[in-house]
């Protein structure tokens, strides 16, 4: 895509989908920055998937478990950057950048 005479730059990014998939797999999903998310405190009582989360409770998400969930990643313990490429796949694997650095307010 870029040849042997130049280094890639940001204009080349759209032409390098496998590089993006490799970065997602290696840097985010395979070796997440945080194995557990940063603590969050529930401000009030909440019901999530039928579970009561009382107000004032500190909640810590398991990032590693989310990024190795067999429901989201067909073979979670195999290094597979192609799970992020659209070729012949009905659904792409979830983008690990949504979880690798913690979670948003819910």
Q: Is the pTM of this model over 0.85?
A: no
Query: Using one digit for the tens of pLDDT, what is the confidence trace for 16-74?
Result: 889 999 999 998 898 888 888 888 899 999 998 899 999 999 989 898 998 999 998 88
Residue 30 lies in a domain: yes
Q: Which two structure tokens, joined as six digits, stand for 22?
A: 């490799």
Quote the number of domains for the chain.
Answer: 1
Cβ atoms < 10 Å from Cβ of 11: 8
Residue 41 lies in a domain: yes
Residue 1 lies in a domain: no
Spatial contact of 56 and 76, defined as CB atoms under 8 Å apart: no
DSSP H or E stretch at residue 40? strand 40-41
Residue 69 lies in a domain: yes
Residue 83 lies in a domain: yes
Residue 21 lies in a domain: yes
Residue 3 lies in a domain: no
- Where in the sequence is the domain holding 60, given as residue range(s)? 10-98
Residue 104 lies in a domain: no
Query: Using one digit for the tens of pLDDT, what is the confidence trace for 7-28?
Result: 888 888 888 889 999 999 998 8
């Amino acid at each position: 895509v870029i040849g042997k005479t130049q280094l890639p730059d940001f204009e080349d990014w759209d032409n390098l989908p496998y590089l993006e998939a490799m970065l997602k797999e290696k840097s985010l999903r395979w070796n997440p920055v945080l194995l557990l998310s940063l603590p969050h405190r529930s401000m009030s009582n909440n019901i999530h998937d039928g579970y009561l989360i009382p107000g004032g409770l500190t909640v810590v998400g398991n990032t590693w478990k989310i990024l190795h969930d067999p429901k989201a990643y067909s073979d979670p313990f195999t290094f597979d950057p192609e799970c992020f490429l659209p070729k012949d796949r009905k659904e792409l694997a979830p983008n690990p950048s949504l979880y690798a650095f913690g979670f948003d307010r819910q």
